[in-house]
Amino acid sequence: MLERLRQLLIKEFIHLFRDPHARVSLIVPPILQMLIFGYAATYEVNHVRTAILDQDHSQESRDLISHLEASGRFDVRRVLHDEREIPHVIDFRQAQLVVQIQPGFAEQLRKGAAAPVQAVLDGTDSNTALIAMSYIDQIAERYGEDYEADRMSHIKPALYQLAPKVTLQERPWYNPNLEGRWFFVPGVIGTIVMTSVITLTAFAVVREREVGTLEQLMVTPIRPVELIVGKTLPSLIVGLGNAAISTLLAILWFQVPFRGNLLVLVFCTILFVASAIAVGLVISTLCSTQQQAFASAFFYIMPAIMLSGFSYPVMSMPRILQWVTYVDPLRFFLVVLRSTFLKGGGITDLWFEISMMTLIAGAMLTIATARFHKTLD
């Protein structure tokens, strides 16, 4: 049995690496994806195209504008002179944001009253609009607090010293600077591994059926279980290799700290790759051509990424979709990745995720093996 399995594995690896294009596709795309997504995937918004409509023309209004520019979040591209210009700059995408400082801004501040400032945003990009709005709100709130503190210290310095103050002390654990890249880069590892393993496994079997060599293999002394192992073991090795390359890039290139136990990460990666292999096997039993396998793999991979919590929190999804995510192994693997990288999580901290991945991998491998046996018969 071992000799037959060894020969089958040799055949699979020869087939994988004899084609120069295949060799490149196994190594280069994961590296490029890691680099591209590592830089592109972030919740931070910088250099928002901004237009200013200052209808107050006071020292206070100019000071607020300088605070916006100094934050580095907003690039002031246009200075408007009339409200009628606002729809034009938004419609023609000359600005994503228009900050309108209305008349009486400085006067209201000097009285200690609320000062009117309006932010007009392009809502077609809701994500950028929401983040930009939060930035403006923080800058305006900080500016108002500083202005009021300075005003009170000049009017009633003794009373200002006695006034109670509430100071919020922020202490983010595990990610002190709230680096968005520290959140996204570990997630990219999971998506790269899943994509490569599912695609490779699905194509490996479908290709044999399409060219007619699967029937030739079945008339040899190779048993069905040996054929399954021989077809899936290369995918396991490739998946672990991609995970190792991506992890090294995350640590060495993107400087994401790794605080966990490497053995825990390897064990969980094996569980996750096993579930991805099972998905690939199921796809291979449903498809007869490589084009069908590609379309089916894409049909599974995209929803799996969307429902995993890679970009959007699972808790913000509708309740029915939250239940669906329990059959998505990527959801639990992302928790493992982010916990082992940033929190130093171990077996005791990740027992639920490990249990769920074990259950999913076992169930999916059982289904995949049964379907594969049925297809061979």
pLDDT at 8 over 70: no
pLDDT at 287 over 60: yes
Write down the mean pLDDT value for the chain. Answer: 84
pLDDT at 376 over 80: no
Banded pLDDT at 2 (limits 50, 70, 90): low
pLDDT at 142 over 60: yes
Banded pLDDT at 246 (limits 50, 70, 90): very high
pLDDT at 148 over 90: no
Question: What length is written for the chain?
Answer: 377
Residue 195 is predicted with a pLDDT of 92
The separation between CA 208 and the C-alpha centre of its own chain, rounded to angstroms, equals 34
pLDDT at 371 over 80: no
Nearest to 231 by CA among 257, 259, 194, 197: 197
Residue 110 is predicted with a pLDDT of 84
Task: Dihedral sign for Cα 192, 194, 200, 202, please.
Answer: negative
The separation between CA 352 and the C-alpha centre of its own chain, rounded to angstroms, equals 22
pLDDT at 22 over 90: no
Q: CA-CA distances (angstroms) from residue 78 to 65, 97, 140, 283, 373? A: 12, 10, 20, 54, 67
Banded pLDDT at 6 (limits 50, 70, 90): low
The average pLDDT across 51-73 equals 91
Q: CA-CA distances (angstroms) from residue 93 to 70, 100, 102, 133, 310? A: 23, 17, 23, 17, 29
Partnered with residue 148 across adjacent β-strands are none
Residue 116 is predicted with a pLDDT of 82
Residues 61, 106: Cα–Cα separation, whole Å: 7
Residue 305 is predicted with a pLDDT of 94
Strand order in the sheet with 74-80: 74-80, 48-54, 97-101, 117-121
Residue 188 is predicted with a pLDDT of 93
The average pLDDT across 335-343 equals 94
pLDDT at 334 over 90: yes
Angle at 97 between CA 96 and CA 100, to 5 degrees: 155
The average pLDDT across 341-355 equals 92
The average pLDDT across 175-196 equals 89
- Which pair of tokens denotes residue 170? 């922020």
Output 224 or 197, whichever has higher pLDDT.
197
Residue 331 is predicted with a pLDDT of 95
Q: CA-CA distances (angstroms) from residue 107 to 57, 116, 146, 151, 337? A: 11, 10, 16, 13, 53
Residue 13 is predicted with a pLDDT of 63
Nearest to 359 by CA among 351, 371, 348: 351
How many CA atoms within 13 Å lie on the side-chain side of 85? Answer: 15
Cα first-last separation, the chain? 20
Output 5 or 333, whichever has higher pLDDT.
333
Domains defined for the chain, CATH in brackets: 2-41+178-376 (no CATH), 48-162 (3.40.1710.10)
Percentage of the chain exceeding pLDDT 70: 84
What is the reported pTM?
Answer: 0.81
pLDDT at 344 over 60: yes
Q: Of the ranges 105-109, 193-197, 205-209, 237-241, which one carries the lowest mean pLDDT score?
A: 205-209
pLDDT in tens, 92-128: 889 999 999 989 998 888 887 888 889 999 988 888 8
Could you tell me where the DSSP H helices lie in 122-261?
126-155, 157-162, 180-211, 213-218, 224-248
Q: Return the CA Rg of the chain.
A: 28
Residue 97 is predicted with a pLDDT of 93
Residue 324 is predicted with a pLDDT of 93
Residue 130 is predicted with a pLDDT of 87
Output 226 or 146, whichever has higher pLDDT.
146
pLDDT at 137 over 70: yes
Residues 371, 373: Cα–Cα separation, whole Å: 5
Banded pLDDT at 10 (limits 50, 70, 90): low
Name the pairing type of β-strands 117-121 and 97-101. antiparallel
Residue 316 is predicted with a pLDDT of 86
| Full DSSP string of 69-127 | HHTSSEEEEEEESSGGGHHHHHHTTS-SEEEEE-TTHHHHHHHTSPPPEEEEE-TTSHH
The average pLDDT across 294-321 equals 90
